[in-house]
A = this chain, B = another copy of it.
Amino acid sequence: MSDIPSSVLSHIDQGLDASLGRLFDVLRIPSVSTDPAYAEHCERAARWLEAELGGLGFEASVRPTPGRPMVVAHYNAAGGANAPRVLFYGHYDVQPPDPLDRWTSPPFEPRIVTGADGGRQIVARGAADDKGQFMTFIEAARAWIAAEGKLPVNVTILLEGEEETGSPSLLPFLKANAEELKADVALVCDTNMWDAQTPAISTRLRGLVMDEVTITAPAIDLHSGLYGGPARNPIRVLTRILAGLHDDQGRVTLPGFYDGVEELPPEISAQWKSLHFSAETFLGEIGLSVPAGEQDRSVLEQLWSRPTCDVNGIWGGYTAAGSKTVIPSKASAKVSFRLVGKQDPLKIREAFREYVQASLPEDCKAEFIGYGASPAIEIPTDNPQLTKAAEALKEEFGRPAVMMGCGGSIPIVGAFRAMLGMDSLLIGFGLPNDRIHSPNEKYDVASFHHGIRSWARILGKLKM
């Protein structure tokens, strides 16, 4: 029971070499965003994409920003305004290729090599991050148009050129062009599969709230001999407060902290258990062996569906070489909370500050600086577009897509929700061994091929 004409998949399969040829064309453009010397190459990449998308029948334009330009392209399907519209996001800029001497071939001269597993790999800077990934979508669109004369849904494509430098122009651009860019759902192709055989959709991104606290005890730095004993030491106060943030089971002690944290739906829980994720390998790679989070939670839960509290920085007193007999006036720490479910970042910041204030001994003062505060993002498992995309991936790969979490945040997803009011489906075909940001970055030809076929199927599903 497929929703995709066989003509489209045939076109993809027969045209794979041509698709690779076009990918190679864009990989040859060294569109490094961080180095101004490459600005003209970024401009060239944007123009190349404008021409490609224009050639497919998109209304495509290169849109200037204070930094690297955006490419925006619209395709209006036959259904007109009543048909669903998807916004596809990718980025054409790449990381610098340094260190050059660690590449086995020039980073902007893409080539196909045979990997250790016998599979073919595309090697070039940007092969996986993100040119190979976004080209899967463009080639899927090409196949639909070539085989069926049109796309099954309305499509807007947004490709930015500053993702590797923190996307400084993105939010202003979204704000200025919100009406133009609005869609029913966003499709983001910048993430990984679970493994080479198993597709994945990242449906959970943790939120984040950060706070800095400075505790002041004596008015001035003191000599620890002449004052040690009766003088309150702010480092001691701070360490007691920070040590009290977790209980012995690794849970955060702030009142109300777990409000809005929900248990995993049973089917997700079952799926994660079935993944046979190796905590040993995951922790072993960073020199650890024992999970440090909530003791009654698996490592995947600790990473993807449970909130955390971490101290990201601490300082006070004398920190250079040698010793100094000082009781400092102040001590500070930067504390952050990763959030899940419906946890309210501002309420948690408030709970942290109230806890600090309530824990202060007499004579101490606490001051705070708040940094980012963004809630978790979770695509509900019954989201209809998610369901359709998952079906499409299952049909392509012959096994269900893993509903993955991501411990960090992906700013574009928050921005799409906050500024354009839509959810994002994070579907990508990268693999953990793609060496993104490193020498000899690669993208499996199988990823590229499956990716094109997957998007073609997803577009077919989303039509309904």
Chain A residues proximal to chain B, CB less than 8 Å: 206, 208, 210, 212, 217-220, 222-233, 235-236, 238-240, 242-246, 279, 282-283, 286-294, 299, 302-303, 306, 308, 310-319, 322-328, 331-334, 336, 338, 361-363, 371-372, 406-409
8 Å CB contact of A334 from B206, B225, B288, B318: B318
- On chain B, the residues within 8 Å of A313 by CB distance are 235, 316-319, 324, 326, 328
Is A236 in contact with B311, judged by CB distance below 8 angstroms?
A: yes
Q: Which residue of B lies closest to A305 (CB)?
A: B229
The CA-CA distance from A287 to B364 in the complex, in Å, is: 10
Q: Give the docked Cα–Cα distance between A291 and B362 (Å).
A: 9
Query: Taking CB as reference atom, which chain B residue is nearest A288?
Result: B363
CB < 8 Å: which of B292, B319, B327 contacts A315? Answer: B319
10 additional A-B residue pairs with CB within 8 Å, beyond A230-B292, A239-B239, A323-B334: A212-B323, A218-B287, A229-B308, A231-B286, A235-B314, A238-B314, A310-B327, A311-B317, A312-B324, A319-B334
Could you tell me if B292 and A408 are in contact, using CB atoms closer than 8 angstroms? no
Q: Report which of B218, B232, B323, B407 forms a contact with A228, defined as CB distance below 8 A.
A: B407
Residues of B within 8 A of A283 (CB): 230-231, 363
A306 to chain B, nearest CB (A): 6
- Neighbouring B residues of A294 by C-beta, 8 Å: 229
Question: Closest B-chain residue to A236, C-beta based?
Answer: B311
B317 with A334: CB separation less than 8 A: yes
A336:B224 contact, CB within 8 angstroms:
yes
List residues of chain B with CB within 8 A of the CB of A317: 311-314, 334
In the bound complex, how far is the Cα of B287 from the Cα of A13, in angstroms?
77
By CB atoms of chain B within 10 A, which of A212, A288, A292, A311 has the most?
A292
User: Complex Cα distance A67/B325, Å?
Assistant: 25
Point out which of A224, A283, A291 has the most chain B C-beta atoms below 10 A from its C-beta. Answer: A224
In the complex, what residues of B have CB within 8 A of residue A246's CB? Answer: 236
Q: Please state if A233 and B311 are interface contacts (CB–CB under 8 Å).
A: yes
- Max chain B CB contacts within 10 Å: which of A208, A245, A325? A325
**In the complex the two chains form, is B338's CB within 8 Å of A228's CB?**
yes
For A287, list chain B residues within 8 Å (CB): 218-220, 363
Contact status B338-A225, CB under 8 Å: yes
Given A239-B243, A243-B243; A303-B338 close (CB under 8 Å): no
Q: Which residues on B sit within 8 Å (CB–CB) of A314?
A: 235, 238-239, 314-317, 319, 331
A217 engages B288 (CB within 8 Å): yes
Q: Are B408 and A225 in contact (CB under 8 A)?
A: yes
A245 to chain B minimum Cβ distance, whole angstroms, is 8
- Given A319-B313, A323-B334, A334-B323, the answer on whether A289 and B229 have CB atoms closer than 8 Å is no
A229's contact among B245, B302, B372, B406, by CB below 8 Å, is which? B302
Instruction: Give the chain B neighbours of A409 by CB distance below 8 A.
Output: 225
Whether B243 pairs with A225 at a CB distance below 8 angstroms is no
Question: Measured between C-beta atoms, what is the minimum distance from A408 to chain B in Å?
Answer: 3
- Between-chain CB contacts (< 8 Å), 25 pairs: A210-B323, A210-B325, A217-B288, A225-B338, A226-B303, A226-B407, A227-B303, A228-B336, A229-B291, A229-B306, A229-B338, A230-B291, A232-B290, A233-B310, A235-B313, A239-B243, A242-B243, A289-B363, A292-B361, A312-B327, A313-B319, A313-B326, A315-B319, A322-B371, A324-B334
Task: Among B208, B290, B312, B325, point to the contact of A318 (Cβ < 8 A).
Answer: B312
Provide the bound-state CA to CA distance between A311 and B224, in Å: 9
Q: A225-B206, A407-B226 are in contact. Are A325 and B312 (CB under 8 A)?
A: yes
Tell me the smallest distance from the CB of A317 to a CB of chain B, in Å.
4
**Which of B225, B315, B323, B332 meets A407, CB within 8 Å?**
B225
A315 contacts across to B, CB distance below 8 A = 314-316, 319
The answer to whether A336 and B325 have CB atoms under 8 Å apart is yes
A227 touches B326 (CB 8 A): no
B231 touches A292 (CB 8 A): yes
Q: Smallest CB–CB gap between A428 and chain B, Å?
A: 16
Complex Cα–Cα for A229 and B338 (A): 9
A233 partner residues in chain B, CB cutoff 8 A: 292, 310-311
State A361–B303 Cα separation when bound (angstroms).
Answer: 20
Contacts of A316 in B (CB 8 A): 311, 313-315
Instruction: List, in ascending order, chain B residues with CB within 8 A of A210's CB.
Output: 323, 325
Q: How far is the CA of A336 from the CA of B317 in the complex (A)?
A: 12
Q: How far is the CB of A162 from the nearest CB of chain B, in Å? A: 20
